């Protein structure tokens, strides 16, 4: 008898559709680790994990990285409460002091307006980092922001929709869903 597939009925019912499955995520995160291992070959890396959303991708990524790494949490708030568009980011956890001369890799769940990556990149250089690169699991299509800059390495292009799961939240919820999906209107309070 095949065991039943684990599910989270309450939360899965709030997804309109799945955009990126857990299998796709696992495969792509492995590829990303391979690309990083190649480009940082033999170097030491300081990974800044943008809390809380990047917890999952960072945890999976670092375990596939055959490099010497330091892992540091950083926190920038850009979605206060129920807002679903970025506002000016603020530091909630400051950057570590000892970044001088280090190769820094900033890992986030999603690249949206690009503000989070921009502010953290600048702050890491101000602390004396030797190199700063950015990595996000998702890159959201934002045709309204042609000048948002770029992300050095990312996993998947997604349309301009609000997504949750695998670390991504809505008002703190849904981070524990193993797949990434579009949150249904009713779950956003949109009726």
Could you give the residue numbers annotated as active site? 112
Residue among 111, 124, 166, 181 that touches ligand IMP (CB under 6 A): 111
Tell me the two tokens of residue 129. Answer: 């980092």
Q: 3-state DSSP call for residue 11? A: helix
- How far is Cα 152 from Cα 147, in angstroms, rounded to an integer? 15
- As measured in angstroms, the least distance from the Cβ of 91 to ligand IMP is 13
- How far is Cα 45 from Cα 66, in angstroms, rounded to an integer? 11
Residue among 21, 24, 78, 131 that touches ligand IMP (CB under 6 A): 78
Instruction: List beta partners, residue 157.
Output: 139
Q: 3-state DSSP call for residue 186? A: helix
- As measured in angstroms, the least distance from the Cβ of 41 to ligand IMP is 28
Residue among 20, 25, 53, 105 that touches ligand IMP (CB under 6 A): 53
Check binding of 135 to ligand IMP (CB under 6 A).
no
- As measured in angstroms, the least distance from the Cβ of 19 to Mg ion is 17
Binding partner of residue 79 among Mg ion, ligand IMP, none, CB cut-off 5 to 8 Å per kind: ligand IMP
Angle between the N-to-C axes of helices 55-62 and 22-39, in degrees from 0 to 180, rounded to the nearest 10: 60
Is the distance from CB of 72 to CB of 49 less than 8 angstroms?
Answer: yes
Check binding of 134 to ligand IMP (CB under 6 A).
no
Check binding of 113 to ligand IMP (CB under 6 A).
yes
Tell me the two tokens of residue 171. Answer: 């008002």
**Residue 59 main-chain phi, psi, to 5 deg:** -60, -40
Residue among 36, 62, 105, 109 that touches ligand IMP (CB under 6 A): 109
Is the distance from CB of 25 to CB of 166 less than 8 angstroms?
Answer: yes
Residue among 103, 115, 121, 134 that touches ligand IMP (CB under 6 A): 115
Contacts with ligand IMP, residue ranges (CB under 6 A): 50, 53, 78-79, 86, 89, 108-116, 140, 162-164, 168-169
């Amino acid at each position: 008898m095949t065991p039943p597939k684990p599910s989270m009925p309450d939360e899965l019912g709030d997804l309109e559709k799945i955009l990126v499955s857990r299998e796709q995520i696992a495969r792509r995160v492995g590829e990303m680790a391979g690309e990083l291992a190649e480009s940082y070959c033999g170097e030491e890396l300081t990974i800044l994990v943008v809390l809380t959303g990047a917890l999952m991708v960072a945890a999976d990524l670092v375990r596939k990285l055959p490099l010497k790494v330091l892992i540091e949490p950083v926190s920038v708030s850009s979605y206060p409460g129920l807002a679903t568009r970025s506002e000016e980011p603020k530091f909630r956890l400051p950057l570590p002091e000892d970044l001088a001369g280090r190769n820094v890799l900033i890992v986030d769940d999603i690249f949206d307006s690009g503000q989070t990556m921009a502010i953290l990149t600048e702050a890491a250089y101000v602390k004396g980092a030797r190199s700063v690169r950015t990595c996000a699991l998702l890159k959201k299509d934002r045709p309204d922001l042609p000048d948002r800059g770029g992300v050095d390495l990312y996993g998947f292009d997604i349309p301009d929709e609000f997504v949750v799961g695998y670390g991504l939240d809505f008002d703190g919820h849904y981070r524990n869903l193993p797949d990434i999906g579009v949150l249904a209107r009713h779950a956003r309070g949109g009726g």
